[in-house]
Chain A
């Protein structure tokens, strides 16, 4: 399997004008809708490490195509946001299918290591500020350049989340309450922006000086930019370090300072809380999607079965945020 893929990658890169050999091809853990591989590409001049991201054929309803993901990253990079360099994009089944190859950004993406390893202690100090900066850069790109990105107005997104949740026929009083509560909120104060959609540890490459790249753009959309801020600040992505609101490593104040070093948008804690509730609910529904893909027999997976019992984590976070002064 991987020898065949190795040859396919070589042929594809050759077609795109990159002469060389592929070696050390290894699968990395990736999302359900995509495979991710790392490999070394070398010729007589140089050797470099690259990443292949490839659609698994089963497109997640939440995700854009890999080829689109690549084009979006190229454009975002031209606006100064930290993203990896795209090497080549494949559309054709005869090549790599829906896929792209990018240069490997050196760094760590595993949350537990970023939060605990001594070598990232200096990075952790400035990471919240840097995340704010990167988000603001993404949110301030000119939308005329991003016609192909799906538009997801937040009201429609909430409706879609509600339909998805309802389709599983597993009623949650806390989710019903949260949907009702969110429907009463005013979301009209923000202009549409490019939204990463999954901005959190796990999708950030961190090196010893901090944020090296924002990766995994498959949930990208045009919509309300507060989604990224709220998502980065939910307890689900603090990995046990719950006193640090931003990703388990930083304070909201630092994130917003970074944001406002690029953007003039005024954001207060109350508004962030609304988006934390929304983000937590969104993660809860994604957990349901995953567990039901196991229960319906689409995939047989221990991880997916286990995630069904993480829904109550999102429920306790929602009641904490709404009724008990949670942050």
Chain B
């Protein structure tokens, strides 16, 4: 890593705070609404920057545990195996893997989402 701080996540955080505190309040409703979407997007980027290494590693472990072969342990091949019927719908390990991987995705995309909040309680 050759770059100084702020990290990319910290830079994004700074822009997000600026939009939230100094811009949004001074805008008419429809632009404030769009600005909120911009803030939400920046917050996704920030969470992804901060967590992607760990979440990718954990997901890889889940996939490896389910699919055994390291060459096959990725999302695309999991999707294919389900489509081809090589993993049955009744497979409890498959169901568990889908739950866990989806939780990791939404923890970055929208950790305030009702279903996610319910499931991590």
Contact = CB atoms under 8 A, between A and B. Distances in A.
A173 interface: yes
A313 B119 CA distance: 13
B79 A316 contact: no
B119 A324 contact: yes
A306 B114 contact: no
Interface residues of A, number: 33
A242 B82 contact: no
Given A302-B34, A312-B105, A315-B105, A323 B119 contact: no
Interface string B50-67: 000000000000000000
A113 B42 CA distance: 26
B114 A235 contact: yes
Interface in B65-93: 75-76, 78-80, 82-83, 85, 89
A180 interface: yes
Contacts, number: 91
B92 to A, nearest CB: 9
Interface residues of B, number: 34
Contacts of A310: 109-110
A63 to B, nearest CB: 24
Interface string B97-114: 111011101100110011
Closest 4 CB pairs between A and B? Answer: A171-B79, A242-B114, A176-B82, A312-B105
Interface of B: 30, 34, 37-38, 40-41, 44, 75-76, 78-80, 82-83, 85, 89, 94-95, 97-99, 101-103, 105-106, 109-110, 113-116, 118-119
Given A312-B110, A313-B113, 10 more contacts: A173-B78, A174-B102, A177-B89, A177-B98, A242-B114, A303-B37, A309-B110, A312-B109, A316-B102, A324-B99
